[in-house]
Amino acid sequence: MGSTPPSSKRMKTRGVKRGGRLESWFVGEDEKIGKYLHETSRKAINNPKLITFNWLKEQKLTKVRSLSKEQLLKRFLEMFGNIYLNLLRVFYNNLQIVGDNICSYVKGIDMKITHEVWFVIAGLKYARLRINKGNIGVVEEFNIMQFYRSCLKNPQSKVRNFSVGGLRLNERLIAFIVSWMLTPRGSNHSMLTEEDLVFIYCIMNKIKINWIDIIKEHMQKSMTLSDYHYPYVILIPKFLHYFEVDLEEDKLKWSKHHTKSPMAL
């Protein structure tokens, strides 16, 4: 599917005032600049991760490859490119949810991340099952303890917590994809939450999930919860590029070869 012509991508271009970097990032809006200086700029950012389908094939992890493809995750999982740490924070600083869409602005460019944009950039569709912490019950037949035991190398072992340590290989790799890439958090990746497990359950059982909805909710959490880092370090620059934000400054190159193999985690 081709990109939308530039003239129809932008909602509006704000007049950028002359001045320092902050003024150019925020079009001189003092309230937004103050929030950035005292809150947004101080928050940590999640390190990017990636898994390629070729790597999964080489490692003979055909089931994980097939399950990820079933969820339309190939383009998202394989995403890599340059990162822009300051502009990423500006994006989050100005982020709002308007209806079903994410809206933000950077350097005078207003962005509306519609369902079409999600598909063009990440190959994700706004359809399928919508799951969040408050409606896990929509996943019928999910029993957290029964499912976790079914994922263990030794299902008869005593369960004290939902650790990734005892999981079989496929389940452990799916857990990596969930907790490091789809809904990344700042720490404690070795312990699975109820949400992690229901996502893993859906992936393993080919229950198709609305990942756009989950990613948007995770973005919102990162803005309000102190223990969350800013996620999607590679995805956000793809949005900035799509809307033709000037990205010449602040560029930090990131190679896909810098990512530690999930097999070592």
The pLDDT of residue 252 is 64
Handedness of CA 248, 232, 212, 29 (dihedral sign): negative
Express each pLDDT in 21-39 by its tens digit: 888 888 767 888 888 998 9
> For the residues of 162-215, what is the DSSP string, one character each?
-BSTTB-HHHHHHHHIIIIIIS--SS-TTB--HHHHHHHHHHHTT--B-HHHHH
Helices 30-38 and 85-93 cross at an angle (nearest 10°) of 120
The pLDDT of residue 20 is 74
The pLDDT of residue 69 is 96
Closest CA to 199 of 264, 254, 144: 144
Name 112's bridge partners: 103
The pLDDT of residue 10 is 52
Low-confidence stretches of the chain (pLDDT beneath 50): 1-8, 13, 15-19, 255, 257-260, 263-265
The pLDDT of residue 133 is 65
- The whole-angstrom separation of Cα 238 and Cα 82 is 9
CB atoms within 10 A of CB 211: 24
The pLDDT of residue 31 is 87
The pLDDT of residue 137 is 67
The pLDDT of residue 21 is 80
- State the pTM of this model: 0.85
